[in-house]
Every structure is written in structure tokens, then in C-alpha cells.
């Protein structure tokens, strides 16, 4: 797309020791909405997801299962690839950290950092949590059962002492603070930005970036007793996927216009360690790091021990893909924690999808089919104030959505769309086209045209969120595939009177809970 602005969006790479859960699906759907929105808005988009496949946990799990770490990684990576497909994700690439291209990228970044004096050999000792793959300071530990010590995440810790290479993170404290100040939108939301700045102001210790206690990983160039640790191995994937270290057109196009979307638990890695590593290597830091919140399940913290992990595939099977995508971005502000409940999910489906939007579309399209010969109605040249008000509100949505999407305020964008949907329902009741059919057929045609145009606007902007359902709505108002981009939004893409329309079909059925025997 010559001349188009570039936009690069990434999920974290998901750890292959996990099973896909709602948190993984949440991040992937959010990134997919960003990617789809920007493509529709004329951007040249690159969307990356993938899996993180190295480390001590994978090595231990593979040993317990009696298989090789690579076999375990192959098996579990496929689960995440399948999840992306089931979610309808439009990713351009799926990266695995066991790929040769990624080994080459990590070796290149490591060598550059060594050459620039940013990595040196020493030894590390401290409290280490295998489950978190992280070291913790004494002041971060919490009391566990029987006088034991635990990481703040609840993971068991052990005292570890081993040789290690270190990245000179401490030298980058002020330069990181300067970067945050010069780029106020680089870390979001604001509450997380404040946390990151507070952490950096508290003082940074040099970062251990190699291990000798396990073998499943990328060997350190020139010292193969050491394995590169997750900070360099996992984080480098974002550059691997756009051609680092070879460079070339892809890297020049998409680095550093990269937008990382991550869970709040890995924000520090992405907003402190990663930009410091990049700047130390003479590379530009990411354009933006956004940390979203966590889900609880019916008010309870989600955990394997409680057996309440939410399976996104089961939700898709029960409620449908588009309603699931809609719900997770509609229910809570992106960045806040949210609570999943089946009651809330059914409420959103039935009140907003079925009643508000589905009922509006079905009523309007059925009246057009019955009273306008099944073609786009012919409006009168003079619109009333009510007509202008509804069309104006619909036409203004694109600017509102652009702002919301750029802030990752998905719920605000969806609420703005629903304000117009609710206004359209009020309009149709007030105008009463079923009465106008007898008293003023020409006015009826205008009213139904305004409503069809409003449905077109709403469906166009819902494409990133609910691609299949929005596409079906656009089919029903006669919008061809080439007319669905945002360049055709508003007056430039108005419906053409007389265009034949297909027979209307319901898009958003009510969800009826199956009766228990």
C-alpha cells in the first residue's frame, strides 16, 4: 500500500505451558479490532501474534510428560494458532520463538548489546520463582503457609545463585524517564503509566539476561553454557517478525510504529526493560504499550486450583463468535479489570444485539421489502430536522471511533455507536413509517432511506468488532465489498435509490437458555 500510513500491532506471545483462556482471547480480539479498523481506514497494517516456547517451565513440563521440549512446544503452540483462527483473528504472521529466524534475531540483538558495552558477565543470586520465570527482591516477598516465602503472585520461590550475563538497566533510568516525558502516550492507560514511572524512579537494578540452570532456549553467542533469558528471547519476537536483523522494506516500514497490547502483569517487561534494551541497541522504542486488565469469573479470581478458568472456545460454541467478541470489549473499559458472568453476556446479547440493533434492522428492512419493492427507497430532496439530526449523528461516528480506537477505548466507541442505534429506534417510532405508508408514501420512503443509511453507517463501523454479522447487515442494505471501507463512510458512500436488496434475514437472534431437565 504505497503512501498509506503504517500500523503494526502485536499481542504478547503466549506461553506454551498455558492452555488458551479468556485472557488470551481478550488480547487477541482487541488487537484484531485495532488491525481491522486501521485497514478499513486505509492504513498499511501488520498484525502479529504467536507463542513463547523456551524456558525452564517448558523443559520441566516436557520432562514430566516424557516428551521433548520441542514436541511439547509444537503441541501447545498449535492450540494458540487454533485459538486465533476460532476468534476470527486477521493476523498477518504467527511467530514461534523456536523458529530459526527468531534465533538469528536474538543472536544479533545480543551481539549488538555486547559490542556496545551494555551486557557484561557476572553472577546472580536471589529469590527466584520458576512459575513466573522472575527474580524478586526480599521486600517483594509475601508470607506463605508454614512460614514459607512466596512471590507477590503467590508462586513458590527458591534461593538461586548462578553465573549470569547482565544488561546495564541501571544506566538507563534517566533516559527512560526522559522517554516517558517526551512520549506521554507511549504507556497507557494513565494509571499504568504512573505505575511504570514510579517503578523507574524508585531505582533500577541491572537485569539478569542469561541462565545456566536449564538448556531449553537460545544459547548465548560465544558462551553456550548460558541460555538467553526471556527478556531478550521473548521480547525480540516483535522485531523478528518484521525482518530484524536483515532490515529491508518490512522492517523500515513497520519499526517502530509498533503498538504492543499486553496484560497488566507483563507491563514492566514491555514498558521498562524492552524500551531500554532497544535504546541500548541503537533502535527506537515502541510507539505505544497498552496494558489491559484481568477478568474474574462470577466475582471470583480465576485460577486453575479453583477450577474456574474460562474457556473462550466453549463461550464461542454457546453464544457465537461475534457476540463473544462484542461482549469482551463492550462490558468493561479496556484497561480495567472486569467480571465475566453468563447473565451479563446474555443481557448484552438480548438487550443490545437482539433488541436494539437486530430489531431495528429487521423492522426497517422488512418495511423496505414490503413497501418499497425490495429496493433502496427513494428519498425526497428536502430532509427534515429530524432526518438531518439522525444522519448527522451517524456521519459523526467515524471521527468518534477513530479517537476511541487510538486510545484503545473500545467500550467508548461501542457506546457511541449504540447511542445512534437507540436514536434510530426513537426516530422510527416517532416517524411511524407504517402510518406514513397510507398518509404520505413519499415521506415514508425518505424515513426508510434515512434509517437504511443509519444501518449502513453502524454496520460499517461494527465490521472490526463483529466482522461476519456486520458484513451480513451490509449485504442486506446493498453495500458491495468495495464500498465498505471508511473512505466510503458518510455522504461519499450514500446508498443509491433503486438498488435491489436481498430478502431481509435476522442477524442477531435472542439467546434463549436451554431448559434444564
Assign 368 a pLDDT band (cuts: 50, 70, 90): very high
204, 172 Cβ separation under 8 angstroms: yes
206, 188 Cβ separation under 8 angstroms: no
Q: What is the mean pLDDT of residues 169-195?
A: 97
- Is pLDDT at 504 greater than 90 in this prediction? yes
Angle CA 338–340–346, to nearest 5: 125
Per-residue pLDDT at 517: 61
| Distances in whole angstroms, Cα of residue 267 to Cα of each of 23, 109, 463 | 15, 21, 29
The whole-chain average pLDDT of the chain stands at 95
Q: What is the mean pLDDT of residues 468-493?
A: 97
Contacts of 280 (CB under 8 A, 6+ apart): 113, 116, 118, 167, 168, 172
Angle CA 123–127–129, to nearest 5: 110
- Which of 74-83, 140-149, 181-190, 316-325 has the lowest average pLDDT? 140-149
| % of the chain residues with pLDDT over 90 | 88
Helix, strand, coil percentages for the chain (3-state, nearest 5): 50, 15, 30
239, 248 Cβ separation under 8 angstroms: no
477, 501 Cβ separation under 8 angstroms: yes
Name the nearest CA neighbour of 345 among 300, 297, 415.
Answer: 297
pTM listed for this prediction: 0.93
Q: What is the mean pLDDT of residues 148-154?
A: 90
Q: What is the mean pLDDT of residues 188-205?
A: 97
Q: How many CB atoms lie within 10 A of CB 147?
A: 6
Name the nearest CA neighbour of 387 among 358, 439, 424.
Answer: 424
Q: What is the mean pLDDT of residues 236-252?
A: 96
Per-residue pLDDT at 51: 98
Per-residue pLDDT at 2: 57
d(CA 261, CA 27): 7
Q: Which SS3 state, helix, strand or coil, does residue 250 take?
A: helix
Phi (first) and psi of residue 171, to 5 degrees:
-75, -10
29, 67 Cβ separation under 8 angstroms: no
Q: What is the mean pLDDT of residues 27-34?
A: 98
- Is pLDDT at 90 greater than 60 in this prediction? yes
- Considering Cα of 12, then 13, then 14, then 15, what sign does the dihedral take? negative
Structure-block grid coordinates of residue 503: 430478502
280, 118 Cβ separation under 8 angstroms: yes
Structure-block grid coordinates of residue 444: 415514508
- Is pLDDT at 514 greater than 90 in this prediction? no
Residue with cell 446474555: 346
- Is pLDDT at 133 greater than 90 in this prediction? no
Name the nearest CA neighbour of 470 among 485, 490, 491, 449.
Answer: 485
Per-residue pLDDT at 161: 85
| Distances in whole angstroms, Cα of residue 460 to Cα of each of 7, 32, 352, 466, 483 | 20, 16, 17, 10, 9
As a dihedral over the C-alpha atoms of residue 414, residue 418, residue 420, residue 426, rounded to 10 degrees, the angle is 180
d(CA 35, CA 27): 12
Q: What is the mean pLDDT of residues 13-24?
A: 92
Q: What is the mean pLDDT of residues 192-217?
A: 95
418, 356 Cβ separation under 8 angstroms: yes
- Considering Cα of 104, then 105, then 106, then 109, what sign does the dihedral take? positive
Per-residue pLDDT at 305: 67
Q: How many CB atoms lie within 10 A of CB 123?
A: 12
Q: What is the mean pLDDT of residues 439-450?
A: 98
Assign 72 a pLDDT band (cuts: 50, 70, 90): very high
Per-residue pLDDT at 302: 76
Structure-block grid coordinates of residue 66: 516424557
Fold type of domain 342-493: Isoleucyl-tRNA Synthetase; Domain 1 (1.10.730)
- Which of 73-87, 150-164, 229-243 has the lowest average pLDDT? 150-164
Per-residue pLDDT at 1: 53
Amino acid at each position: 500500500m504505497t503512501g498509506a500510513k503504517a500500523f503494526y500491532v502485536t499481542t504478547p506471545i503466549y506461553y506454551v505451558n498455558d492452555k488458551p483462556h479468556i485472557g488470551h482471547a481478550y488480547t487477541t480480539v482487541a488487537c484484531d479490532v485495532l488491525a481491522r479498523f486501521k485497514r478499513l481506514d486505509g492504513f498499511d497494517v501488520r498484525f502479529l501474534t504467536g507463542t513463547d516456547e523456551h524456558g525452564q517451565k517448558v523443559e520441566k513440563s516436557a520432562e514430566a510428560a516424557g516428551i521433548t521440549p520441542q514436541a511439547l512446544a509444537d503441541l501447545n503452540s498449535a492450540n494458540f494458532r487454533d485459538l486465533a483462527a476460532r476468534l476470527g483473528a486477521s493476523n498477518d504472521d504467527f511467530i514461534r520463538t523456536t523458529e530459526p529466524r527468531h534465533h538469528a534475531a536474538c543472536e544479533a540483538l545480543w551481539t549488538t548489546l555486547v559490542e556496545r558495552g551494555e551486557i557484561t558477565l557476572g553472577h546472580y543470586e536471589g529469590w527466584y520463582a520458576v512459575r513466573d520465570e522472575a527474580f524478586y527482591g526480599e521486600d517483594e516477598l509475601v508470607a506463605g503457609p508454614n512460614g514459607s516465602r512466596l512471590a507477590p503472585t503467590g508462586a513458590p520461590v527458591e534461593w538461586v545463585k548462578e553465573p549470569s550475563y547482565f544488561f546495564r538497566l541501571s544506566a538507563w533510568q534517566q533516559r527512560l524517564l526522559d522517554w516517558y516525558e517526551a512520549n506521554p502516550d507511549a504507556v497507557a492507560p494513565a494509571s499504568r503509566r504512573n505505575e511504570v514511572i514510579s517503578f523507574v524512579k524508585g531505582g533500577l537494578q541491572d537485569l539478569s539476561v542469561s541462565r545456566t540452570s536449564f538448556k531449553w532456549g537460545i544459547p548465548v553467542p560465544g558462551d553456550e553454557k548460558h541460555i538467553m533469558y526471556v527478556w531478550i528471547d521473548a521480547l525480540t519476537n516483535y522485531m523478528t517478525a518484521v525482518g530484524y536483523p536483515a532490515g529491508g522494506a518490512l522492517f523500515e516500514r513497520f519499526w517502530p510504529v509498533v503498538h504492543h497490547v499486553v496484560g497488566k502483569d507483563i507491563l514492566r517487561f514491555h514498558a521498562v526493560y524492552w524500551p531500554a534494551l532497544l535504546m541500548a541497541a541503537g533502535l527506537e522504542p515502541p510507539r505505544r504499550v497498552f496494558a489491559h486488565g484481568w477478568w474474574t469469573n462470577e466475582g471470583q479470581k480465576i485460577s486453575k486450583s479453583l477450577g474456574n478458568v474460562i474457556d473462550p472456545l466453549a463461550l464461542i460454541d454457546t453464544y457465537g463468535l461475534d457476540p463473544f467478541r462484542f461482549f469482551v470489549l463492550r462490558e468493561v473499559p479496556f484497561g480495567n479489570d472486569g467480571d465475566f458472568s453468563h447473565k451479563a453476556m446474555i443481557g448484552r446479547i438480548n438487550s443490545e444485539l437482539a433488541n436494539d440493533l437486530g430489531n431495528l434492522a429487521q423492522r426497517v428492512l422488512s418495511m423496505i421489502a414490503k413497501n418499497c419493492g425490495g429496493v433502496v427507497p427513494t428519498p425526497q430532496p428536502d430532509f427534515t430536522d429530524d432526518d438531518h439530526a439522525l444522519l448527522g449523528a451517524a456521519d459523526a461516528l467515524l471521527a468518534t471511533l477513530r479517537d476511541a480506537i487510538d486510545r484503545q477505548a473500545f467500550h467508548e466507541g461501542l457506546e457511541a455507536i449504540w447511542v445512534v442505534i437507540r436514536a434510530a429506534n426513537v426516530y422510527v417510532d416517532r416517524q411511524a413509517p407504517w402510518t406514513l405508508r397510507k398518509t404520505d408514501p413519499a415521506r415514508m420512503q425518505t424515513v426508510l432511506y434515512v434509517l437504511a443509511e443509519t444501518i449502513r453507517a453502524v454496520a460499517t463501523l461494527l465490521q472490526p468488532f463483529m466482522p461476519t454479522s456486520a458484513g451480513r447487515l451490509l449485504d442486506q442494505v446493498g453495500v458491495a465489498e468495495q464500498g465498505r471501507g471508511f473512505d466510503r463512510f458518510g455522504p461519499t458512500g450514500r446508498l443509491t435509490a433503486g438498488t435491489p436488496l436481498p430478502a431481509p434475514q435476522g442477524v442477531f437472534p435472542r439467546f434463549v437458555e436451554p431448559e434444564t431437565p
